[in-house]
Amino acid sequence: MLLGTLDWIIVFLYFAIVAGVSIWAMARRKDSAEDYFLAGRHLGWFIVGASIFASNIGSEHLVGLAGSGATDGVALAHYELHAWCLLVLGWVMVPFYMRSGVYTMPEFLERRFSPQARTFLSVISLVAYVLTKIAVGIFAGGVVFAVLLPDLDFFGLDSFWFGSILVIVLTGLYTVVGGFRAVAYTEAFQTIILIFGSFMVTIYGLEALGGWDKLREICGTEMFNLWKPLVPAGVESTWAPVKEPGRMAWYFNDNYPWLGMLFCAPIIGLWYWCTDQYIVQRTLGARDETQARRGSIWAAYLKLSPVFIFIIPGMICFALAKSGSIPVLQETLFDANGELIRDNAQQAFPMMVVHVLPIGVRGIVVAGLLAALMSSLAGVFNASSTLFTMDFYSRLRPNASQDRLVWIGRVATTVMVVVGLLWIPVIQGGKGLYDYLQGVQAYLAPPIFVVFFFGIFMKRLNAKGCLAALIVGFAMGLFRLAVDTPVKLLENFNYEPGSFLWIVNNTFFQYYSLLITIVCILVMIGVSYASPAPAYDKISGLTFSTMTEEDRRRTRASWTAKDVVTSALLLVFIMIAYLYFTG
């Protein structure tokens, strides 16, 4: 047993507080769809921002991001430093969303384009949640429990499957019963536990290692460098988007070329933070545009913390293992020849909890681990049920009662969980959890990014162009997933080197994502201009060019100089981080 009595007391206390917050939130609920799915649109900025952060910082960070820190240093901090995308959400997108009064992002797309676009985006979003958020969350819960309780055998279930199922049941319980209000308030509490507990891992880890200077000494400048030399001498002509064994020197590592990180990561970030139901639903629950914007700014500040509470602990784990100061870490991360075992790096964060933290503090951090796992899953459960209920069922049954809509949402959540469980073997076959997540998102994000942003900035784009871009982009993404899946699932399976399918499978996922984006832009613009323009009076207020003077006046009145200053200060912090992590 790796946890002491005091640790278990703290963990149970955490569950008691979560239950108490959930019960309090449920006591305030009303029996209506707006209350169940959007907390009655009464959330303040602190709850909005904390809920956004807690939903985002889930299993892929606990297990995957810390693991990437152990294998590749700060390379993936690029994704975390894209906190500026939340400023785009607050300043650019929120005014349009709040004016429209929608429940879901597909519903907004219907108002801007057509009902067909709404249906298609709903399907894409639900598929994306199964392939990424739900399955990855379940899998990471199993990984955490496998480290904390390695010898557990519960009616034939090992610790991995027991942990996966336990996290689902506990999270699903308050999500299904309490709705979005319970999710939002428990996430705000879980954010505090998560950040405090994770910082404890960084502090105690540095103490065990010997300080920050020792970390830099062992990891070397390469692991501390966000901007490795772009094109070093000797590889000036190597610009192929396909992986070339032996020609990797100018890449971040064997899966993250700098060009892809520079141009693809912002596309994924803007899709995720500004158009994904999973995130935007929190701002839709705000009481007004001011609270939604300030919640986005607050979430952007919180988003900077993963560099220091997940990536750095992963690097500390690597340094402790390499130095040999904690033998069990060395045995787990390195083989007999001293080579790093990348697949085992997924255990970096929970191993730090078990082998570095003292009794008592360990319980707090385990509570933080559970907070991240549960908040992430709770958010996607609620988002999935909202999409299915409001974008499918309510349209098929427009006269359904409020109670019926809530009941259907609960059933939809249960179905999504079962499908996610069935997808876990695919993730287990991948190179790493964070790699898996970024790859799948890179294939699904481009068409959604294109139709939302181009749709808001270009009023001439119409429903036919939108639908064509969604269909073509989604088809290209599914094709890549279909090509990649056998390689992940089947042992020793690969395509004939040099063949078409081999090239597709070995093309860097960022480059393939950029290809999808370019194709979607061309298709959307081409089809739109080859067909009649939309009726501009029907999309009033849904694009910049069709905003009325009253729309502009209301938006201007919703922010103050304080909002501008805090947003600018965030950009300064991001620049400082980029300048520091240069090796």
pLDDT confidence of residue 363: 84
Name the pLDDT band for 229 (thresholds 50, 70, 90).
very low
pLDDT confidence of residue 571: 96
- DSSP one-letter string for 376-403: HHHHHHHHHHHHHIIIIIHHHSTT--HH
**Which of residues 157 and 11 earns the better pLDDT score?**
11
Among 269-278, 425-434, 449-458, the least confident range: 425-434
- Could you tell me how many residues make up the chain? 583
pLDDT confidence of residue 46: 93
Answering whether pTM is above 0.95, one says no
Q: How many CB atoms lie within 10 A of CB 116?
A: 16
Find the mean pLDDT for residues 184-207: 86
How far apart CA 292 and CA 49 sit, in angstroms, is 8
pLDDT confidence of residue 32: 63
Residues 6+ apart with CB under 8 A from 433: 59, 60, 63, 64, 67, 136, 139, 140, 143, 346, 427
Per-residue buried b or exposed e for 367-397, using 16+ beta carbons within 10 Å of the residue's own CB: bbbbbbbbbbbbbbbbbbbbbbbbbbbbeee
Mean pLDDT of the chain: 81
Name the pLDDT band for 39 (thresholds 50, 70, 90).
low
- Residue 137, classed as helix, strand or coil, is helix
Instruction: Please check whether the domain covering 5-580 is classified as CATH 1.20.1730.10.
Output: yes
* pLDDT of 266 higher than 70: yes
Which of 58, 90, 8 minimizes the C-alpha distance to 300? 90
How far apart CA 64 and CA 207 sit, in angstroms, is 23
The pLDDT tens digits of the residues spanning 51-64 come to 898 878 765 677 67
Find the mean pLDDT for residues 300-305: 92
How far apart CA 321 and CA 396 sit, in angstroms, is 57
Q: In whole angstroms, how far apart are CA 38 and each of 84, 227, 280, 310, 386?
A: 25, 41, 11, 30, 9
Domain residue limits, the chain: 5-580
The pLDDT tens digits of the residues spanning 519-574 come to 999 999 999 999 999 999 999 999 999 999 999 999 999 999 999 999 999 999 99
How far apart CA 382 and CA 36 sit, in angstroms, is 9
